[in-house]
Amino acid sequence: MKWKVGDSAQLTAVVDDQRIRNFAVAVEDLNPIHLDDEAAMKSIFGRRVAHGMISASFISAILGTRLPGPGSILLGQSFKYIAPVYVDDIVTASVTVTAIRDDKPILTLDTKAVNQHGQTVLTGEATVLFRELDDWRERQS
């Protein structure tokens, strides 16, 4: 295991209108609160907000590409949605290793996302099984 408790990684992205619309189509989520100014004005937020799952998916993106990275298999995730993400907000998602099992290559990570004001928008936890891609191949051959 090349990772240790305390290791962390992050990803920053602008959640602009195009990203929200692309996500909406990709996952069939055409909720008007994300896409329609007039409907969104009636909501508690008073304007359009991004899908919470966009920020959540940034976390999965880090897990799959950076820490632990390719070869990861997501076992479970939890999310608490703390605050809305508005159109054009800049979200920084991050993951930090909190535990690694002795008996299996399974990591637990604290996960969160903050906006450009430093406000936490999402917190959670992830459990990931990790082996390098090349190690998977050796086990199969």
Q: Which among 2-10, 22-30, 102-110, 112-120 is the span making contact with its own copies, rule CB under 8 A?
A: 22-30
Q: Which is nearer to its own copies, 5 or 32 (CB)?
A: 32
Contact call for residues 105 and 41 (beta carbons, < 8 A): no
Residue 87 interacting with its own copies (CB under 8 A): no
- The span of 1-9, 26-34, 100-108, 112-120 binding its own copies (CB under 8 A) equals 26-34
Q: Which stretch binds its own copies (CB under 8 A): 1-9, 36-44, 95-103, 112-120?
A: 36-44
**Cβ contact 23:29 at 8 Å:** yes
**19 sits near its own copies (criterion: CB under 8 A):** yes
Measured in whole angstroms, how far is the alpha carbon of residue 63 from the centre of its chain?
Answer: 8
DSSP secondary structure of 20-83: HHHHHHHTT---HHHH-HHHHHHSTTSS-B--HHHHHHHHHHHHHHTSS-TTEEEEEEEEEE-S
DSSP code of 17?
Answer: H
Rule CB under 8 A: is residue 1 a binding residue for its own copies?
no
Residue 26 sits in the site that holds its own copies (CB under 8 A): yes
- Tell me how far apart the terminal alpha carbons of the chain are, to the nearest angstrom: 21
Judged by the rule CB under 8 A, the positions of this chain that interact with its own copies are: 11, 13, 19, 22-23, 25-34, 39, 42-44, 46, 51-54, 56-58, 60-61, 64-65, 70-81, 131, 133-134, 136-137, 139-140
